[in-house]
Structure 1
Amino acid sequence: MSGQLRWEQVVQTAQSIAGVQESDGGIPWPEGHVDAWNHVECLMAMSVAGLTGPVRKGYDWLVRTQRADGSWPMKLVGGRAVEQGGESNHAAYVAVGVWHELLVTGDEDFAREMWPVVRSALDFVVELQTIRGEIVWERAADGRPARYALLTGCASIYQGLRSGVLLSEQLGDPQPDWELAADQLGHVLAAHPEAFADKSRFSMDWYYPILGGAVRGPAARARLAEEWDTFVEPGLGIRCVSDQPWVTGAESCELVLALDAVGDRDRALKLFADMQHLRHEDGSYWTGWQFVNDKWFPYERSAYTAAAVVLAADALTEHTAASGIFRDAGRYVTDRPTTDCGCSHAGSRA
């Protein structure tokens, strides 16, 4: 990758993820817990680098830890649940991972082995959709659905549903309910910001509807322009939150992917180069940099940050057959009404 990273450096970063994988296959946060979303993101990155053994070990972990309702515990330590609630976006991202693995490897036998896991996970997700279309963020341990939805989580779920539909078609087991759920969710993401809890100080709420594929075209360009100066720190990356002088590598690389997805390649390349100050000599990445105090914050190097770097590098170089997975997530976007659409404001059907 001219002027940025050589591919062997990208592989080194993926190997840093494999280096923290636990013996049971889980890939933890620096503080020690595993959640399904970040775990899957790390598997995708290792797959890009050809680390098939650790990847398949990680998918085995997902098979073993999935619950009967299709969800995963919110946090696991040593394979045991320490937070019992099941997050909808955690479950949905498994479909993105399996679709990505099929694109990278062409291994349809593996996809078929994982299909019952994906089907159960997305059925869990769809059960948490409201009549209007947003999907509430969790089902608590006692079975009660949450009372609100999160924009970032729903934007990721949108990609999960679209990936699940593609996988279902590839495997000859169509799931029209998922396609309908994705259509409804995509409309709400594009047209109904009031459907979601206000987390607008977080940069993820800004770019994730683009990253996940629900917003494209003029609406995406307008969205990027609206908060660009709020979150982007030239030469450093992007802020995690608007009111703190703190840039983070994962968010920066996710914005790279969002920019690439809408064809804004020059800014994607510039931002990817800007965040390389977070790279450690062993190929791992610091989670973030506090640019007023000039300190790493938090003082950790995280596998999920490394994963975002690898996926951004793949998108920019088109190294694997899955390099366009975030670009392709927006292929179903059509013009959506923003007023007088008649959407119901009724609560969850779960």
Structure 2
Amino acid sequence: MTSAEPGAEPLALSGVLTAAEADDTARAIAGEQRADGAIPWFAGHHLDPWDHVEAAMALDTAGRHEQAAAAYDWLARHQNPDGSWYAAYAEGDATRPTDLGRESNFCAYPAVGVLHHYLATGDEAFRRRMWPVVHAAVEFTLGLQQEGGQLGWRRDPDGTPVTDALLTGSSSVYQSLRCALALADLAATPQPDWELALGRLGHAVRHHPERFLDKSRYSMDWYYPVLGGVLRGSAARARLAGGWDDFVIPDLGVRCVRTNPWVTGGESAELALALWTMGLERRAVEVLRSIGHLRAEGGLYWTGYVYADEAVWPAELTTWTAGSLLLAVAALTGDTATRAVFGGAGLPRGLEADCCA
């Protein structure tokens, strides 16, 4: 399928994307998708499960539902027996994984995409087909949860669990677990252990920064507890305000690393999405407008820009950068499915009590 399905609402946001530009971006993402459904970073590069899902969700926002479904079917066909996926596949080829590690947030994130696709399409057959995939992936992920609630970030190729936890990854898994619980409700198969795990994970992120590796120099560790839905209200606003001057470069975008003069499109779009979840829509739009300089001919976006050198770097047009921008625009312009999985108002909350010392 090469175009949006009939009835799809065009994406458009003043100063960010016209409807025609959004369509070009979606078409460009779809143009990188392989015939088997895999969506690599770009043609000839590897695929990782998290960014594959991000690009698939972007296709759904643009009405390209068959192509999005093909991306999820790729995941279903290539899931490992333990419920995981490898961290990277050569050019999206499941027969040639290039990183045999299995990362907790990579394996959990398909739950977000599956729920997003179901909400966008109402496709009950898809939901039923993908539920066992999501169930197995969550079980694998929770096998890496530590006593303090945080998620070990990876299982090594030899099967050894890595107990070190990443704040960004654990925050992403928090969102994934809520989406997985929503799918469990739809399947009428309660998962009380998942609810307990979600509560423990949220408690760790909110109250125990010492349980995570110190990656505070990265902007993702700054905004991901908000984007993942762990923090809301005054706590979320205080966190975003506290890092704003460190990471946001007016009219250019968001730094990937606090100390480096390098803004990146993916982090900028994700911050915009986090701002939207807090009702800070004006600021979200300002951030998205600031990365217009990363847009390339054809509709994709450069990964980043080193402003000290006035140079695009790396010279890569990545599907996930374009995908994150379309998702932010979709939330800001009222796309129901995108608002549901990122806003989280209707998602299960699990055990909310501060249950873990």
TM-score range, shorter chain: over 0.9
Instruction: Tell me what 1:37 maps to.
Output: 50
Report matched runs for 1:95-134 at 5 Å. Answer: 95-134=111-150
1:24 to 33, 36, 59: 36
- Matched residue of 1:19: which SS? helix
The one-letter amino acid of 2:57's match is M
Q: Distance in 2 between matches of 1:323 and 1:10?
A: 18
297-306 vs 24-33, greater mean Cα deviation: 24-33
The one-letter amino acid of 1:212's match is G
The one-letter amino acid of 1:145's match is P
Unaligned runs of 5+ in 2: 1-12
Shift of 1:336: 7.1
The one-letter amino acid of 1:130's match is Q
Instruction: Tell me what 2:78 maps to.
Output: 65
- Matched residue of 2:291: which SS? helix
Report matched runs for 1:142-181 at 5 Å. Answer: 142-181=158-197
- Matched residue of 1:247: which SS? strand
Q: Distance in 2 between matches of 1:172 and 1:105?
A: 20
Task: Confirm whether residue 301 of structure 1 aligns to residue 340 of structure 2.
Answer: no
Instruction: Tell me what 2:17 maps to.
Output: 5
189-198 vs 170-179, greater mean Cα deviation: 170-179
Q: Distance in 2 between matches of 1:236 and 1:336?
A: 40
Q: Distance in 2 between matches of 1:133 and 1:323?
A: 27
- Matched residue of 1:138: which SS? strand
Instruction: Tell me what 2:5 maps to.
Output: none
Q: Distance in 2 between matches of 1:113 and 1:45?
A: 21
48-57 vs 235-244, greater mean Cα deviation: 48-57
2:293 to 265, 277, 283: 277
Q: Distance in 1 between matches of 2:340 and 2:290?
A: 22
1:104-128 Cα deviation digits (max 9, x unpaired) = 1111211110001000000001111
Q: CA-atom RMSD, angstroms?
A: 1.7
Shift of 1:324: 3.6
The one-letter amino acid of 1:42's match is A
1:217 to 227, 233, 249: 233
The one-letter amino acid of 2:21's match is Q
Shift of 1:162: 0.4
Task: Confirm whether residue 14 of structure 1 aligns to residue 30 of structure 2.
Answer: no
Normalising to structure 1: TM-score of the pair?
A: 0.93
Q: Distance in 1 between matches of 2:145 and 2:224?
A: 19
Instruction: Tell me what 1:237 maps to.
Output: 253
Counterparts in 2 of 1:99 and 1:144: CA distance versus 1, 3 Å = same
Shift of 1:94: 0.6
The one-letter amino acid of 2:62's match is A
Instruction: Tell me what 1:346 maps to.
Output: none
Shift of 1:334: 9.7
Shift of 1:20: 0.9
The one-letter amino acid of 1:56's match is A
Instruction: Tell me what 1:312 maps to.
Output: 328
1:51-108 Cα deviation digits (max 9, x unpaired) = 1222122112101211000000111112221211111101100100001011111112
Counterparts in 2 of 1:181 and 1:63: CA distance versus 1, 3 Å = same
Counterparts in 2 of 1:342 and 1:124: CA distance versus 1, 3 Å = closer
Q: Distance in 1 between matches of 2:129 and 2:356?
A: 41
The one-letter amino acid of 1:65's match is H
Unaligned runs of 5+ in 1: 344-350
1:281-331 Cα deviation digits (max 9, x unpaired) = 211111111101001010111100000010001011013443342111696
CA contact (8 A) 1:249 1:286 kept: yes
CA contact (8 A) 1:159 1:329 kept: no
- Matched residue of 2:163: which SS? coil
Q: Distance in 2 between matches of 1:37 and 1:75?
A: 10
% same residue: 49
Instruction: Tell me what 2:305 maps to.
Output: 289
The one-letter amino acid of 1:107's match is D
1:36-57 Cα deviation digits (max 9, x unpaired) = 1000011000011111222122
Shift of 1:8: 2.9
275-284 vs 212-221, greater mean Cα deviation: 275-284
Aligned length: 340
Q: Distance in 2 between matches of 1:317 and 1:207?
A: 21
2:201 to 185, 189, 192: 185
